[in-house]
Chain A
Amino acid sequence: MSATTHGNIALPHASTDSAERRLMLGFLVFGFSALFIGASIGPLQALNYGGINLYPYLRPLLQTYYQGLTVHGVLNAYVFTFFLACGLLVYLPARELGLSPNLLLWRACFGLMVVGTLMLLVGMFDNSSSVLYTFYPPLKGSALFYLGLTLLVVGSLFPLPILLDLRGRWRRQRPGEITPLATYMSLATMLMWFLAGFGAAAELLVQLDPWVLGLTQTVDPSIARTLFWWTGHPIVYFWLMPAYVSWYCLLPKQAGGKLVSDPAARMTFALLLIFSLPVGSHHQYLDPGISPVWKVILTALTLSVALPSLITAFTMALSLEYGGRLRGGRGVLGWFTALPWRNAGVAAQVLAMITYIFGGAGGVVNGSWQLDNIVHNTIWIPGHFHLTVGTATAMTFMGVSFWMLPHLTGRTLLMPRLALASAWLWFIGMSIFAFGMHWAGLLGVPRRAWVSYMPQEAYDRVYGLAHLPLGLVALGGVILWLAVVAFYLVFFGSLLFSRQGTEEPIPFAQAFHRRASYAIGQPVGDLPGEPTPKLARALEHLGLITAFTAFITLAAYIPILWPMIRNATQATGWNVW
């Protein structure tokens, strides 16, 4: 069995291997450093809603709540997630296939995103671009902000050619076989992100970059907003799908079992590729300028995107159950308590999944047009996405870092009990915080408002009825601060002060009816005559699926954009923060 375990990692050449590890470590450390800054600011915003205004004490570092919120959103939602996705979605497939990725492209990806991030940091910390992470024009920040964002987005697309090259080389050596799962999922994610990128690329390159450089004088806010959400909704799947890769391809092994359904995993990703694209305008249910007929269609498409996540809930629960039963769990819920809860990497990801159940349910509410009327732009919405990207994704990545840091550095994880504590603190803090936010949102408290800076009389008159839930938001924020401290003591401590340990392999999980390893250079192993399910075979045609997705995306967006283009607005820029 130990031979099989080590059979899961393929070591091509020692030198390229260590170069890949260093680069992956670069993505991991840079991404988590961005999260460190962003997450440290977060609780200030939670306290703001509790009526506590700490910003006057933070000058000159942070001038205003809105500046802090811009930094928080950009670093956490774009920089952190992009670096993790662009690292993991190359590193894991390369190791799964036993091949070296194109290091030049991967380094260029890293370099572009680093430069973009530094430009963003300058543009945000000098308070010239406190436009929040949605940067809706005609709010107009500094050129550094938009150009930095452009570089970050362009850089994040580089893993696609790297993956196509990896998959092509693997197929030539294994003709007739279907793509191994982690590679399939990573490729589906990057194809989705490639199509999604057109929206932001068009908004930035055609509208905003020329505008902030002074080449054009005006901008159309509706078109910009629509293009933003073309990317802005699929982006949530660019946050989630790398976490799903860990849930499907790694976590079952860490939990002591196997992935119970490889075809279901592929179907999930194919459906996510298709349905995440045409639904972006559901963020504009309450915008004039879009026909109600299209909003009906968007509702149907949006509810469809819940399906792959519902399949994920089933497959993941079943895979965990399998692992738990092998570990001796009995009865209806015995398998759940029998999971390796002392392993911080597993605990963080299972807690992330539990949170995601509530995040997903809230998402169905947001996606339902009539219910969105109640919650749109209230703090229900950040309550929702702190459960999804803020916990399901972030805590999964934290869980991944607990095995990946030792794997990449050869050093042991420092203070594993504190690592476990950080996962629980994050889970508890975020649950309280998000519960308060959902509740206060139903009472009409708007998102992104510096309410602690209002006159006390106005705060009490408008938000008095939300005192209790807003207090919970603040309390959750304080607990999250503790979680951040605990996590980063472990993360940076392990990076800097830990001692040499034993080699930690990548915990690739075997799936039912699939081989333990598909790496080139590894023996093909048992189950030689495995029948490939028809579904998995059909889903191999990722090119066709992508073309179909591109077609329905255009079909969804042309009728929405056409009236906007015909009635174009010439809005001038505003710098009002």
Chain B
Amino acid sequence: MTDNSPSAAFEHGFHTVAERHERIWLFISLALLSLLMAGAMYFVVADYGVVVKTAGYQRHPEDAATGAFAVDQGLMRTGPNTYAVHMLAHLWQWTPSPLHVPQNAEITFYITSSDVLHGFEVQGTTINVTAIPGTIGKVTYTFRHAGSYNIICNEFCGIEHQNMLGRIIVDPANHS
């Protein structure tokens, strides 16, 4: 073991350098995390519509099936270029689906579930909201590209979870 035993000088030198490098590393780490925080805040503020907000509560989740979400009202016009839709997640469907929305219009989604948890994910967009029974969530999004988008349930909801798919069809602006 003696040939492997460190000389005291080597250990001392290594330790001295290590302490300096440790301070530098700590500074780099803190700077990196601060930058990431600033970046996160910038993007959240710049794209505030996609931040999930709370639009209301329901004591009994199954009431969603008799309230504003009861009838498939489809897309509702709320302004010159703004629309709203009440999207109900229930075993194992999205209502309304397929949903036609115009390109470049601001769409506000109200989302809830009348049974278990579901996840409202629109593939290829930043829309991603937990559909919680009893809580109504809200996000706003503008589809810039026409075409067909898949709604995918991304929160486990039982045996047919994988087939809980929906569709949003974004119609080209000049056609609608």
Residues of A within 8 A of B (CB): 1-2, 64, 66, 132, 134, 136, 138-139, 220-222, 225, 256, 258, 260-261, 264, 284-292, 295-296, 299-300, 303-304, 306-307, 310-311, 314-315, 318, 322, 325-327, 364, 368-371, 373-374, 376-378, 443-444, 446-451, 453-455, 458, 461-462, 512-513, 563, 567-572, 574, 576-577
Contacts and interface: CB of A to CB of B under 8 A. Distances in A.
B134 A221 contact: yes
Nearest to A318: B18
Nearest to A447: B154
B36 A446 contact: no
Contact of A286 (B39, B61, B128, B152): B128
Interface stretch (B1-9, B68-76, B80-88): B1-9
B106 interface: no
Interface of B: 1-2, 4-6, 11, 14-15, 18-19, 21-22, 25-26, 29-30, 32-33, 36-37, 39-41, 43-44, 47, 50-55, 57-62, 91, 111, 115-117, 119, 121, 123-124, 126-130, 132-138, 150, 152-159, 161-163, 165
B41 A569 contact: no
Given A286-B129, A310-B32, A377-B155, 5 more contacts: A132-B156, A138-B61, A139-B157, A444-B123, A449-B154
29 contacts: A139-B157, A225-B117, A260-B15, A286-B128, A286-B129, A288-B55, A289-B135, A290-B54, A299-B40, A306-B33, A325-B14, A369-B44, A373-B50, A373-B128, A376-B128, A376-B154, A378-B154, A446-B121, A448-B156, A449-B161, A450-B161, A454-B162, A458-B163, A462-B165, A569-B60, A569-B61, A574-B115, A576-B158, A576-B159
A364 B36 contact: yes
Contacts of B54: 288-291, 563
B1 A446 contact: no
A290 B137 CA distance: 10
A288 B25 contact: no
B136 A288 contact: yes
B137 A288 contact: yes
B2 A1 contact: yes
Given A64-B159, A300-B37, A138 B152 contact: no
A119 B163 CA distance: 31
A287 B154 contact: no
A296 B44 contact: yes
Contact of B61 (A64, A310, A571): A571
B132 A289 contact: yes
B134 A222 contact: yes
Q: Which 7 A-B pairs have the closest CB atoms?
A: A569-B134, A288-B137, A576-B158, A1-B1, A444-B123, A446-B154, A377-B154
Contacts of B165: 458, 462
A299 B130 CA distance: 18
A374 B37 contact: no
Given A256-B4, A288-B132, A368 B40 contact: yes
B161 A139 contact: no
A432 to B, nearest CB: 23
B124 A444 contact: yes
A376 B135 CA distance: 19
A54 to B, nearest CB: 15
Nearest to A365: B36
A15 B93 CA distance: 63
A450 B92 CA distance: 14
Nearest to B113: A221
B15 A1 contact: no
Contact of B134 (A462, A563, A571): A571
A467 B33 CA distance: 35
Nearest to A328: B4
A450 B52 CA distance: 27
B53 A368 contact: no
Contacts of B53: 288, 292
Nearest to A4: B1
B121 A444 contact: yes
Given A288-B54, A326-B4, A569-B133, A66 B159 contact: yes
